[in-house]
Amino acid sequence: MSVVALPDRAARPEPGQRSRRWPVVSISIIVAFVLVALLAPLLSPADPYEQSLRLRFRPPVWEERGSWANPLGTDRLGRDMLSRILWGSRVSLAAGVVTVLIASAFGAAIGLVAGYYGGRVDATLMRVTDATLSFPVILLALILAVTVGPSFTNVVIAIAVILWARYARVIRGQVLTLMQLDFIAQARIAGAGAWRVITRHLLPNTLNTLVVLVTLQIGYVIIVEASLSFLGAGIPPPTPAWGSMIAEGRDVITIAWWVSFFPGLVILLVVLAFNLLGDWLRDTLDPKLRQL
Amino acid sequence: MLRFVFFRLLQSLIALAILSVVVFVLARATGDPLHMILPMNASEEDYANARRYLGLDRPYVAQYLSFVGRAVTGDFGNSIRARRPVSELLRERLPNSLKLAAFAMSVSLAIAFPLGVMAAVKKGTGVDRAAQLVAVLGQSLPTFWVAIVLVEFVAGRLQWLPAGGADSLASYVLPGFTLGWFVVAGMMRLLRSGMLEVLDSEYVKLARLKGVAERRVVWVHALKNALIPVVTFAGIYFAILVTTAIVVETVFAWPGLGRLAYDGITSRDFPVIQAVVLATAVIVAAVNLCVDCLYAVIDPRIRYSR
């Protein structure tokens, strides 16, 4: 394996070394998010599905009628908001990770092949990529939801089918630069075949970029999944998902603002954490990469 | 140039053709529509008659061709819910969506341009940090949630602006800003990084050495080249705008295509969904075509590379 530093003009020292410091807050939020998702059954104070009509629309604990039994209040069916938010993290984490893994694996493969072979292969693959990039994700998910029915699998498929194109574009760009470098030519002279050059020489050199993109895209996927659940084309009820919780709270926001407010706040925090971490990773690992 | 436009147009048509096949297949893959139309006690004969009447007994290729033929002439059948031709609904809703998108786009450009350029010029200062904050928030805030919170607080509790509908200019403000927010963030980032790169280049230094006024160096010499990445991504941003519009129109009760799509889904109104998806795809493809041609005009390298 040969790792070669890419010539990067943007690597000039930044004024103030702010970006070099570890983003502790982002990392803590992400770690907490993952832990909560894994340990939701242990952490949540109540059953997220248990309804209690007597306890409908209890406000959060600091409001007048609030109680510690439901620290963040209850929703329309008297379900505990805190527990539902904790459980909702599972959907977001799973959707984010699974979708991005599928999309990045496929996208990176296309990008590597297009960049390696160039010519007609490259042109064809990039046209497909461009066409995919410009297709609205939500519309595709809506079609799937209406025809096949809303489900977790369909959300993942709908987003991944579009998202891979971003990876393909960026990775292909990198591979084109790498192909100009001597070590690739040397590898080929030494008799390395396409498979070997791609997996042993090109792929390792694009890993930094992949890591940055993956981090930035997890946040994006969480938002798209939440939008879909909000529109009723995502995770079907009663499974707790942040997007559908916001949708449920929408009609009652005048009398119970907390039902929509808290899930949205949690989405904001988690996505913000992923984006800040992604930005930091990009500045650290790969300053040349532009925001996609 | 003409050759370029021609091939690009051909690509768009192929992409649209593929999409129409997907829509067609998905519509057929969900089971026999007759189960939904005919009563429970319908006989085999009723089914056969209905199938012949609706043309469902013909081969799939023939069905597809007539589907496309009708779609091209703007005939998408009747909405199941509204009991009106879908084309009428489209004609009613499309202008509203376009107006909102145009408003949102102008707002975004008006904010993103000065902010992005200033952030690059005054790198590391308060302006830059403010711009970065806008950018990262823009990409982290769930639009639909922002919309709901705005409706409740700005329109509901404070009564400053109308919460929904498209009656007055004031009703554009909330949905327009909500819709434009994400685009502002992305464009500003691109402009900032583009400007940083260009401001560092030799020709900008030369312009400065020649004594060109700094304002002219930044806003004319540098900006021109920093615009190239922005134009490249304009098509993608438009697709994102369309996507976001579905959510925003739903929350603000905006009588546009997005709202139509949402209503279509909640009521399983398939002809409407089919029409909205195809119409949107055509619009997105057209915008992308324009963007690519514009791109080829700005950057001659693109024209000659194909």
Between the alpha carbon of residue B209 and those of residues A52, B118, B205, the distances in Å are 75, 21, 6
Both tokens of residue B284?
């997105």
Interface test with A, best of B148, B237, B242 (most A CBs within 10 A): B148
pLDDT tens string B149-179: 887 877 777 767 666 666 666 778 888 888 8
Nearest-by-Cβ selection for A136 from B144, B190, B280: B280
- Which residues does chain B have within 8 Å of residue A250's beta carbon, measured at their own beta carbons? 148, 251
Decide if pLDDT at B257 tops 80: yes
Q: Give the separation between CA B287 and CA B235, rounded to whole angstroms.
A: 7
Closest partner CB to B144 (pick from A136, A246, A271): A246
Residue-level pLDDT at B32: 58
Pairwise CB contact (< 8 Å): B189 & A145:
no
B contact test, residue of A14, A221, A291, A292 with most B CBs within 10 A: A291
**pLDDT of B29 higher than 70:** no
Return the residue matching tokens 């803590």.
A28
CB A16 to CB B197 under 8 A? Answer: no
Cα A66 versus chain centre, distance? 34
According to the model, what pLDDT value does residue A2 have? 41
Percentage of chain B lying above the pLDDT 70 cut: 85
Q: Out of B19, B145, B239, name the one closest to residue A264 (CB).
A: B145
End-to-end CA distance of chain B: 10
H-helix or E-strand containing A26? helix A24-43
More confident residue, B176 or B59: B176
**Who among A142, A144, A268 is closest to B140 (CB)?**
A268
User: In this structure, are residues B191 and B226 in contact, taking their beta carbons and an 8 Å threshold?
Assistant: yes
Distance from CA of A280 to the nearest CA of B (A): 12
Does the pLDDT at position B30 exceed 60? Answer: no
Closest-approach residue (CA) in chain A for B129: A18
Q: ipTM strictly over 0.85?
A: no
Q: How many CB pairs under 8 A join A and B?
A: 142
Residue at B188: amino acid letter: M
Q: What is the pLDDT of residue A15?
A: 47
Q: Contact A139/B156, CB-based, under 8 Å?
A: no
Tokens (6 digits) for B37: 């139309």
Q: Is residue A254 within 8 Å of B156, Cβ to Cβ?
A: yes
Residue B28: the pLDDT is 64
- The shortest C-alpha distance from B120 to chain A (Å) reads 13
Chunked mean pLDDT (size 10), chain A, 292 residues: 42 48 86 88 80 78 75 80 88 91 93 88 83 74 74 87 88 84 85 83 84 88 88 82 85 81 91 88 70 44
Considering only the beta carbons, identify the residue of B124, B142, B280 that sits closest to A227. B142
Whether A276 and B197 lie within 8 Å, measured CB to CB: no
Q: What is the pLDDT of residue A269?
A: 92
Residue of A nearest to B268 (CA): A146
Identify which of B144, B239, B306 has the shortest CB distance to residue A227: B144
Distance from the A9 Cα atom to the nearest Cα atom in chain B, whole angstroms:
9
* Beta-ladder partners of B85: B78
Helix ranges (H only) for chain B are 2-29, 34-37, 44-54, 60-72, 86-121, 126-140, 143-150, 170-199, 202-210, 214-216, 223-251, 257-266, 270-298, 300-305
- Indicate yes or no: CB of A231 within 8 angstroms of CB of B265: yes
Contact A246 B142 (CB under 8 A): yes
What is the model's pLDDT at position A105? 93
Residue A142: closest CA among chain B residues belongs to which residue? B265
A50-80 tens-digit pLDDT? 777 777 777 887 777 777 777 777 888 778 8
Q: What is the pTM of this model?
A: 0.81
Question: What mean pLDDT value characterizes chain B?
Answer: 78
**Residue A279 to residue B136, Cβ atoms within 8 A:** yes
Instruction: Record the tokens describing residue B110, joined without a space.
Output: 């008006």
Query: How far apart are the CA of B61 and the nearest CA of chain A, in angstroms?
Result: 20
